[in-house]
């Protein structure tokens, strides 16, 4: 094969991948615009019905301005994009189906984004990154101990020299806004590639597990041999694919919490530079979200691996080899009978067969056997009467009850008939401690209301409003005292007589 023929074969293979197939289609601008509008770094999945409605709305908007759009509706387009490996549909929280972008769609969006963004193709920041990376890898790759020591000594000397200069009061050179913009553009190029990289690892893990499940279901070998092979594949899960090996290498670095914390602090320092004032709020928020993007990507990959491993474990536990062999034997017998029937059957002959067996006419099917323990009497209760506390006395119960209206009426009438009480409060404060519970205030107010002795505050003259309350000293059943401010209530002779009549009338308590 000539050189040009080999290059052509490689290019055709690349164009057969979903990423370039997406960019090569007629409706590629529309598809990428929909993906860009519907998904973002913070919104990685969209509920299925919602995405269908959004695509329908995008189609209607574009038709209204005269743009040419596909003739299908939102649901049909989403299904087509899923078949083209640009969308992935899965069951999310609440058993709702949702769409997310595949790594191929993310790569296409990244390519279009890089082409539409104004940036320098070459810059000091990019060359510095390349030179530093090459120097670091060359140091690691060189097996010569003396050369590696020489490089480390040179780096240490440079760092010490710069430290001593700064410690001696040397000038700190401020980096220009142009240099910061170049470094920012180089950094953004690396950060924007992370979602597609993480998604590619997820898809690689899911594809390997699907292959293991298919191999497990199609195997005609002893279950122990299949399990051994499954365990060996699981142990080498992340090291058997390029994506898995790359993630394993990065995961060792990314799970270092102190490193991620330092990364967050460094990003905050970059945004404190004056050049950040020229960035939009979206760009600053995207840069500060780098740590969250890394953590989310790691969690998604680990969740995918753990979830599929759980599915495989449940499949292995519930797999019944005997039933599978019985089904396989039955299918073989059906094929054998079908071959015998085809020897004599005509081209239009049919056989009536039920897809599902008929229902058995069973009135009652016992679900469990008789258990004599269910009809055994419960054990006798233990006698714990010796541990019972002393019951409260009648007086203690009455102290915890409501107001004693009858006794309170008698006490108030006696206090005012003798003429020693200036008000109901004075009469209350002279009562015995057992009659001055806080609840008795409510009973006293009820009694005064019965003879219309309680006046509202808005009915009191403004000049005498300060004298409308008085202090009640109450005694709780436990002996503690509390003070309450209660409206001042006065009983003249007529109201005292009316109150006295209540003790002997039909309302007597």
d(CA 107, CA 110) in angstroms, rounded, equals: 5
Question: What is the CB neighbour count within 10 angstroms for residue 367?
Answer: 5
> Alpha-carbon distance 455 to 71, whole Å?
81
* Residue 283 parent element (H or E): helix 281-288
Q: Can you give the pLDDT at residue 423? A: 84
**Which ranges in the chain are annotated with CATH 1.10.10.10?**
3-104
- Phi-psi region for residue 94, left (φ > 0), alpha (ψ -120 to 50) or beta? left
Model confidence at 459: pLDDT above 60:
no
| Cβ-count burial 112-128 (b if 16+ within 10 Å, e if not) | beeeeeeeeeebebbee
Q: What is the pLDDT, as a whole number, of residue 122?
A: 54
97-101 and 481-487 beta bridge pairing? unpaired
How many residues are present in the chain? 509
Task: Give the Cα-Cα-Cα angle 91, 95, 101 (nearest 5 degrees).
Answer: 25
Between CA 429 and CA 442 the distance in angstroms is 15
Of the candidate ranges 67-81, 119-133, 315-329, the one whose mean pLDDT is the lowest: 119-133
Mean pLDDT comparison of 123-127, 210-214, 341-345, highest-scoring range: 341-345
Strand partners, 473: 483
Give the distance between the most distant pair of CA atoms in the chain. 131
Cβ neighbours of residue 123 under 8 Å, at least 6 residues apart? 182, 185, 186
**How far, in Å, CA of 17 to CA of 241, rounded?**
18
**Pairing between strand 45-47 and 97-101?**
antiparallel
Q: What is the 3-state secondary structure (H, E, C) of 248-273?
A: HHHHHHHCCHHHHHHHHHHHHHHHCC
Q: Is 32 left (phi over 0), alpha (psi -120 to 50) or beta?
A: alpha
Greatest mean pLDDT among 170-174, 346-350, 400-404, 472-476 lies in 472-476
* Structure tokens, 348: 């239009």
Q: Over the stretch 364-384, which tens digit does the pLDDT of each residue have?
A: 777 777 788 778 888 888 888
Topology at the third CATH level for domain 3-104 = Arc Repressor Mutant, subunit A (1.10.10)
pLDDT at 238: 61
Least reliable range by pLDDT among 282-286, 294-298, 408-412, 445-449: 294-298
pLDDT at 508: 42
| Cα separation of the two ends of the chain | 117
What is the C-alpha to C-alpha distance for residues 103 and 344, in angstroms, rounded to an integer?
55
Write out pLDDT tens, residues 475-485. Answer: 988 889 999 98
Tens digits of residue pLDDT in 12-34:
877 777 888 888 778 888 888 88
pLDDT of the residue at 67:
86
Spell out the SS3 assignment of 382-406: CCCHHHCCCCCCHHHHHHCCCCCHH
Q: How confident is the model at residue 506 (pLDDT cuts 50, 70, 90)?
A: very low
3-state secondary structure of 118: coil
Which range in 2-11, 383-392, 465-474 is most confidently predicted, on average pLDDT? 383-392
Rg for the chain, CA atoms, rounded: 44
- Exposed / middle / buried, residue 111 (Cβ in 10 Å: 0-12, 13-18, 19+): middle
Residue 2 clears pLDDT 80, i.e. is over it: no
Sequence-separated (6 or more) residues with CB below 8 Å from residue 444: 403, 408, 412, 424, 428
Q: Which residues contact 270 (CB under 8 A, 6 or more apart)?
A: 180, 184, 276, 287
With a cut of 60, say whether residue 1 has pLDDT above it.
no
Whether the predicted pLDDT of 132 surpasses 60? yes
Of 40-44, 47-51, 245-249, 448-452, which gets the smallest average pLDDT?
Answer: 245-249
Distances (CA, A) of 83 to 49, 77, 288, 487: 17, 10, 35, 82
- Tell me which residue of 84, 73, 77, 71 sits closest to 21, measured CA to CA: 84
| Spatial contact of 205 and 244, defined as CB atoms under 8 Å apart | yes
Query: Does residue 463 carry a pLDDT above 50?
Result: no
| Residue the block writes with tokens 């030179």 | 131
pLDDT one-digit tens code per residue, 398-441: 788 888 888 888 888 888 877 667 788 888 888 888 888 899 88
Q: How many helices (H) and strands (E) does the chain have?
A: 21, 5
């Amino acid at each position: 094969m000539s050189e040009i023929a080999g290059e052509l074969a490689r290019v055709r293979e690349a164009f057969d991948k979903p990423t370039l197939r997406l960019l090569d289609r007629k409706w590629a601008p529309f598809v990428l615009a929909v993906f860009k509008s519907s998904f973002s770094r913070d919104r990685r999945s969209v509920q299925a019905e919602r995405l269908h409605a959004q695509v329908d709305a995008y189609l209607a908007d574009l038709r209204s301005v005269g743009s040419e759009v596909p003739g299908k509706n939102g649901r049909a387009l989403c299904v087509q994009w899923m078949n083209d490996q640009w969308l992935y549909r899965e069951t999310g929280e609440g058993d709702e189906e949702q769409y997310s972008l595949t790594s191929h769609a993310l790569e296409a969006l990244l390519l279009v984004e890089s082409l539409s963004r104004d940036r320098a193709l070459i810059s000091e920041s990019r060359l510095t990154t390349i030179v530093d990376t090459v120097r670091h890898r060359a140091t690691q790759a060189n097996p010569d101990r003396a050369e590696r020591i020489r490089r480390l000594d040179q780096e240490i000397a440079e760092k010490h020299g710069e430290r001593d200069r700064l410690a001696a009061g040397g000038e700190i050179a401020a980096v220009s806004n142009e240099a910061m913009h170049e470094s920012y553009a180089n950094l953004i190029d690396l950060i924007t590639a992370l979602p597609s990289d993480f998604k590619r690892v997820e898809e690689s893990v899911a594809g390997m597990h699907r292959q293991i499940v298919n191999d497990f279901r199609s195997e005609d070998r002893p279950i122990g041999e299949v399990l051994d092979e499954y365990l060996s594949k699981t142990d080498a899960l992340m090291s058997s694919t390029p994506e898995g090996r790359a993630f394993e290498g990065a995961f060792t670095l990314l799970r270092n919490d102190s490193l991620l914390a330092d990364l967050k602090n460094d990003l905050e320092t970059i945004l404190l530079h004056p050049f950040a004032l020229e960035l939009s709020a979206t760009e600053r928020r995207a840069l500060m979200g780098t740590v969250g993007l890394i953590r989310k990507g790691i969690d998604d990959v680990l969740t995918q691996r753990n979830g599929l491993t759980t599915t495989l474990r449940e499949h292995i536990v519930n797999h019944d080899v005997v039933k599978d062999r019985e089904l396989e034997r039955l299918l073989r017998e059906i094929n054998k009978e079908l071959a015998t029937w085809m020897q004599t059957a005509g081209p239009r002959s049919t056989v009536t067969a039920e897809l599902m067996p008929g229902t058995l006419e069973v009135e009652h099917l016992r679900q469990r056997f008789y258990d004599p323990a269910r009809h055994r009497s419960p054990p006798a209760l233990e006698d714990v009467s010796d541990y019972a506390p002393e019951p409260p006395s009648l007086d203690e119960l009455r102290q915890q009850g409501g107001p004693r209206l009858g006794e309170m009426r008698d006490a108030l009438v006696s206090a005012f008939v003798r003429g020693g009480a200036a008000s109901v409060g004075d009469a209350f404060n002279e009562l015995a401690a057992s009659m001055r519970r806080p609840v008795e205030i409510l009973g006293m107010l009820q009694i005064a209301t019965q003879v219309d002795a309680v006046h509202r505050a808005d009915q009191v003259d403004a000049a005498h409003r300060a004298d409308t309350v008085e202090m009640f000293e109450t005694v709780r059943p436990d002996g503690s005292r509390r003070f309450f401010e209660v409206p001042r209530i006065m009983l003249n002779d007529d109201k005292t007589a009316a109150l006295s009549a209540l003790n002997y009338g039909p309302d007597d308590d």
